[in-house]
Structure 1
């Protein structure tokens, strides 16, 4: 086998990155202390990053930087400043979630490779095409996919010169990444900003199935699935763990390195994965990869399972035996730790010492000799023009040092600055000094040209399309069609996440009711995506709303007007610009996670609508796994093909703080969890009505839990009156919707 298989390791801090490099990682991913989705990791300074790049590249290891969060409008200048530094850093790629960053990089920093983050929830063919058009060179596929799905998407990605990356080891989220708002809703820490508080690991009141941690999955391990991943032609095997320490990273990467090397050399696998059990784990599962979604994926304990594994390994039963098993585990860990310490003790990311010596005399060029390290590398260069007698300004040590002392500050420490061999009372045109400085910078940048800093111009402000904001409504059941007769508002019809293959039920609904506008969900995998595309082709609606970028891409190809739904997490002007310029998007919902100050300066593209949902159930998470196996219980040992289409179970779970959440499963839908409160935001209408073209209300019963169904006719009437300025309507709505919140709008990101 000759195709390269990249082993991609996590690097939460400098020591972990050293551990990954020395253990044989082909690449590491790490984050700075800003703009990354692991704020609980130690993270790095830019100075650290420079040293890490030098160290990693010495060992033929690439470095990818995580910029995998949504970006706020006021942060765009800081992001541009960072990109200006990264473009000259030697970084091998950046990992991105925000659609606006794609726009900035493609236009202004095209030499940077963009990797699409797992936060973009990539799981169907259209999304691969969407990301390829935006400029992605690599896509991190959703963790929920099985091996045949991965193989299909990888083949398509390669047709578009896009690489694929798959998580093979570490923590599993029960929710689709990028579609989990549980932390944001519960404690104001958004997973889309790297502040996930891991509500899925929380303890709940014991469920009917007897579990206290009903959302807690085992860790992922594809250690023995390597042949199938190779057959799928996956390009990168990604290990999770940027909040894990160096000991963990070294152990896991070393184990995987040996497994990959063994398979490459012999086509055989190592059978011993015991080292993986010696570091933090919640026990292991490969069920997502195998497409076997069983109860065994869960474990009713989110804490470290390594001790239990040691106890089981040694068949320890008595107190003494258990104590000995623990002692043996700690001894093994200490041995690995000592081995690691010995291997990395001479690895350094310190700045390289740089000595600069300037020399010259009358009628000779100004010469610069740069010595890096202890005479390790010497560069000699000189000006084109010769030194002349100074008339006004003298070229002395002070003038030269002022020009040169900070130009290589990130990667070098100027240890000596010697002008003793430069004669006095001489001068040189400053443009020559600048040219000498640029030559020196080029050589110190490994003879790679320095990219000049880019100034991104302010975006032009465009007026809204409508004279005043209108209202739009979402329904999901034909029985609610009479609501169409009450209003002239746009009526969206929510499509399910799963379709019966070849069934024309929803096609017929739209053909019978041409006023209905299809609303596509965020997750559409495999045949469900293909059925969604078939609906587009059969109905050819005038307009759609899509929360799925794959469907959006097909709408773009078919010249169907489309609006980006609220689950595309748009939070800045450049995200809107990406959607407009790349995919001819007609409008977008602004994320409900951001507040008034974060919204007010967002600039719309020309002829582009801005929408906002003011009333809806608050989705916390959606999963491909089943929430009912661990809550109310289910007789089926695993999720079957018919579960998505037929199951309509519902329950509640209550955390140990006494807060309950609705667990909801619609026909054709994925299991989802909703907050106990409805989102109801009057404030944005009063604060920012002039900024929006449309305010949206969700009249589906999805996520209602045990709450009584409200009179939808009355809701439509009162919301229309409220948007027309009727204060009594606001009071009436407040009395109707008693369990409500707009906390996300108040707190923002």
Structure 2
């Protein structure tokens, strides 16, 4: 049976989740958690959490699921070491560096690929499996048929079944970072998608980027039958009542019992729930905002929900053996259903003055297990006549034997993983031989404006690759892979056609493309979607077959300059930064594709272009301003490749911009530009 995995943003929430009956929990430490604004757990709290969980047979996963900077790597390694020594059952991670840390320092530790790694295809699963992940958290956008396909590939799958939906595909949202320096990939998302925004020119006071929460309680049995190993509840920022209600609802739904959907909606929803992604029914019905009525219903439901975690959830049954002999200390032995056995001894019994102790009196005290995780299964008593043991003494012995059982169960369910310090940056450093320009185009008109001799490579969309070979020499072409797909095989067939016309280079936007490049024998270039922010992650990209890698544009220029480079690195030097990638187009949902305005407008009046990849089933929301660094190239001299990304530029503008980057921006910069995050960075 699949586990019910509960979010725990604080020790208080952990208590509620355990009492509600979860099978596993995930929690964050004081650093490197994708929910930095939660209370989270200090190291001592994590040790206590492992104890409380393991005595109940509940697993504990720690999230180290932010991208890591080089200057943080020592602290990150310490966090992994603490996980190993505390007996944590696994680490959920996004950053490729964690793969290397675990592989070198504690290879027995389980690692789970976070949903922020954007794994959503068969080849993505194969990559994570080869890298040593024991479980993959799938993208929330997947329908049931794909979930079933991916769950049959020999690696555990984890699926979100309840909780908030981000507008963007997880791991590919940079809106909060670029607009306000609060990086979602660093655990500090400012939730820009919950702010006023209108799509399709519908006026102000719209919330056209806000999705309803998902809830798959009615579909849990289908999901389990699809082969999913873990049913994940989102909500490390939520209150204990929310987590308890979600766990209780999932438990009842899995057992085929009725759950209280009305109260589940009341505790937190945004005008109801959606199962649109699971059923692949996208559109306006998936969008919603939390209203005053929702909040009022939630407040009213709280007293009812408190009852769900008022008492301990009974995790096992104890059977006792009690020996009360005249010449021996009182002895109580307890056994659980899993074979754990513990004993405790007290003082010698007294001679009875009036009423002697008997079996009924012993059972009366031993059965008082209300504040424990155990049910009373029975007691075998061996009692000499004429002896007395007070109820208080029996109660104290019962408490002690239960505590001993707690410890025994905890030890049985815990495995301290050996940890050895190791140098994770022990690799040869690449020494650059000059800086080149690489371009990415959206259409053939832009491509025609590119002089092949001025650029190292021209990246073209997959759909245009075959025709692009008629415009410029194939040795100068690279296929820019789509960032998301619901049909990997068709995508692979189209890529094979591009290779047949002579294109040898593949620009990867997802980990799955590393496997595709190997299959087709193409030269692999790792893109910004890999979220590479440290030297070790760059080396992992090289191990995956990359000949060069574009670093994350969430890095400051000064941080890029300090990277130890195992391969040539590229930087995003020009273009409209892709702020969100979503499979649920806000404009289509608002006014339909026929009325597309090709932009959305935020509460300040800024227009953000929307780039449609309809064939692949996703759109990208681009920055309102163009990143321009032609006059600041000295600050990017550490980069071997300058990536110029053209979206809505005319052919004339394409030629002009390339010239600007050739001559260092001597002709003056354009209006309304941004320097991105190269100087201000992210938190």
Bucket of the pairwise TM-score, normalised by the shorter protein: 0.7 to 0.9
- Pair 1:732-2:680 in alignment: no
* Structure 1: 5+ residue stretches without partners: 263-268, 309-325, 346-375, 379-441, 500-504, 637-646, 723-729
Equivalent position of 2:179 in the other structure:
186
SS in 2 for 1:224: helix
Structure 1 residues 530 and 666, CA, compared in 2 at 3 Å: closer, same or farther?
Answer: closer
Structure 1 residues 35 and 173, CA, compared in 2 at 3 Å: closer, same or farther?
Answer: same
Structure 1 residues 682 and 462, CA, compared in 2 at 3 Å: closer, same or farther?
Answer: farther
Give 1:127 shift. 0.6
Structure 1 residues 53 and 460, CA, compared in 2 at 3 Å: closer, same or farther?
Answer: closer
Give 1:732 shift. 1.5
- Pair 1:622-2:581 in alignment: yes
**TM-align CA RMSD:** 3.1
SS in 2 for 1:711: helix
Q: Is the 8 A contact 1:37 1:194 kept in 2?
A: yes
Q: Is the 8 A contact 1:31 1:44 kept in 2?
A: yes
**What is the rounded CA distance, in whole Å, between the counterparts of 1:206 and 1:83 in structure 2?**
43
Which of these residues, 477, 486, 511, is aligned with residue 525 of structure 1?
486
**What is the rounded CA distance, in whole Å, between the counterparts of 1:540 and 1:238 in structure 2?**
45
CA deviations over 1:31-73 (Å, ceiling 9, x no partner) = 0110010012110101001011110111111010011111101
SS in 1 for 2:5: strand
Alignment of 1:489-500 (within 5 A): 489-495=455-461
Structure 1 residues 448 and 536, CA, compared in 2 at 3 Å: closer, same or farther?
Answer: farther
Structure 1 residues 304 and 277, CA, compared in 2 at 3 Å: closer, same or farther?
Answer: farther
**What is the rounded CA distance, in whole Å, between the counterparts of 1:620 and 1:185 in structure 2?**
7
Which of these residues, 243, 246, 261, is aligned with residue 240 of structure 2?
246
SS in 1 for 2:478: strand
- Pair 1:715-2:632 in alignment: no
Equivalent position of 1:335 in the other structure:
304
- Pair 1:678-2:613 in alignment: no
Give 1:343 shift. 4.0
SS in 1 for 2:532: coil
Give 1:107 shift. 2.4
Equivalent position of 2:355 in the other structure:
none
Comparing 712-721 with 174-183, greater Cα deviation is found at 712-721
Q: Is the 8 A contact 2:506 2:522 kept in 1?
A: yes
Structure 1 residues 163 and 648, CA, compared in 2 at 3 Å: closer, same or farther?
Answer: farther
**What is the rounded CA distance, in whole Å, between the counterparts of 2:416 and 2:301 in structure 1?**
48
Which of these residues, 563, 568, 572, is aligned with residue 534 of structure 2?
572
Equivalent position of 1:725 in the other structure:
none
Give 1:685 shift. 2.6
Equivalent position of 2:378 in the other structure:
none
Equivalent position of 1:287 in the other structure:
276
**What is the rounded CA distance, in whole Å, between the counterparts of 2:416 and 2:6 in structure 1?**
29
Equivalent position of 2:359 in the other structure:
none
- Pair 1:692-2:627 in alignment: no
* Structure 2: 5+ residue stretches without partners: 315-341, 345-407
Structure 1 residues 540 and 125, CA, compared in 2 at 3 Å: closer, same or farther?
Answer: farther
Q: Is the 8 A contact 1:10 1:240 kept in 2?
A: yes
**What is the rounded CA distance, in whole Å, between the counterparts of 1:304 and 1:27 in structure 2?**
33
Give 1:188 shift. 0.7
Structure 1 residues 176 and 535, CA, compared in 2 at 3 Å: closer, same or farther?
Answer: farther
- Pair 1:742-2:675 in alignment: yes
**What is the rounded CA distance, in whole Å, between the counterparts of 1:335 and 1:449 in structure 2?**
38
- TM-score, length-scaled by structure 1: 0.73
Give 1:526 shift. 1.7
Alignment of 1:224-623 (within 5 A): 224-262=218-256, 270=258, 272-282=260-270, 283-299=272-288, 301-303=289-291, 306=294, 330-343=299-312, 453-457=419-423, 459-460=425-426, 462=428, 464=430, 466-485=432-451, 487-495=453-461, 506-510=465-469, 513-514=473-474, 515-527=476-488, 528-535=490-497, 538-539=500-501, 541-581=503-543, 583-605=544-566, 608-623=567-582
**What is the rounded CA distance, in whole Å, between the counterparts of 2:282 and 2:304 in structure 1?**
37
**What is the rounded CA distance, in whole Å, between the counterparts of 2:215 and 2:102 in structure 1?**
34
**What is the rounded CA distance, in whole Å, between the counterparts of 2:411 and 2:46 in structure 1?**
15
Structure 1 residues 602 and 50, CA, compared in 2 at 3 Å: closer, same or farther?
Answer: same
Give 1:447 shift. 11
Q: Is the 8 A contact 2:106 2:418 kept in 1?
A: no
CA deviations over 1:229-249 (Å, ceiling 9, x no partner) = 123111111111100011111
Give 1:445 shift. 6.8
Equivalent position of 2:114 in the other structure:
117
Structure 1 residues 14 and 739, CA, compared in 2 at 3 Å: closer, same or farther?
Answer: same
SS in 1 for 2:218: coil
- Pair 1:26-2:23 in alignment: yes
Q: Is the 8 A contact 1:511 1:539 kept in 2?
A: no
**What is the rounded CA distance, in whole Å, between the counterparts of 1:540 and 1:114 in structure 2?**
39
**What is the rounded CA distance, in whole Å, between the counterparts of 1:121 and 1:600 in structure 2?**
28
**What is the rounded CA distance, in whole Å, between the counterparts of 2:180 and 2:300 in structure 1?**
39
**What is the rounded CA distance, in whole Å, between the counterparts of 1:138 and 1:598 in structure 2?**
32
Give 1:295 shift. 1.3
**What is the rounded CA distance, in whole Å, between the counterparts of 2:103 and 2:470 in structure 1?**
40
Give 1:463 shift. 5.2
- Pair 1:43-2:43 in alignment: no
Equivalent position of 2:360 in the other structure:
none
- Pair 1:219-2:219 in alignment: no
SS in 1 for 2:454: coil
